[in-house]
Amino acid sequence: MLQAQSGPTTVQLVVMVLGAVPIVGMFTFAAVKILGPIGQAIGRRLGGGSSSGEVVDRRLELMADDLDHLRAQLVETQERLEFAERLLATRQHEQLPGGPH
């Protein structure tokens, strides 16, 4: 006589576990992506790290310094361009017929 089965077979249990692995993986990935930055922020706050406002202020200062440096380079480049244009205009004027030799 056949006995009535009281639960899933071993094969059915293996299939259920293997089917749950991707689902558990997706939930774990989502939790790490969501809770990771929150945990880092809490850790910085508890550890006495610099606040985000200080970081932003420092980055702004660095960017302002870079901008000043770029402006100085632009002024120098413009001066060189003007000098080259004047030199070129003088040489072209000397090469024109009837110009000074």
Residue 30 sits in the same domain as residue 63: no
Question: Is position 45 within any domain?
Answer: yes
Q: What local confidence, expressed as pLDDT, does residue 75 receive? A: 96
Residue 65 sits in the same domain as residue 42: no
Q: Is the pLDDT of residue 99 over 60?
A: no
Q: Which range marks the domain in which residue 71 is found?
A: 51-96
Total domains, the chain: 2
Question: Is position 3 within any domain?
Answer: no
Higher-pLDDT residue of 47 and 60 is 60
C-alpha 35/C-alpha 40 separation (Å) is: 9
In this prediction, residue 23 has a pLDDT band, given cuts at 50, 70 and 90, of confident
Q: What local confidence, expressed as pLDDT, does residue 3 receive? A: 60
Mean pLDDT of the chain: 83
C-alpha 17/C-alpha 67 separation (Å) is: 59
With tokens 């299939």, the residue in question is 15
Q: What local confidence, expressed as pLDDT, does residue 98 receive? A: 65
Q: What local confidence, expressed as pLDDT, does residue 2 receive? A: 55
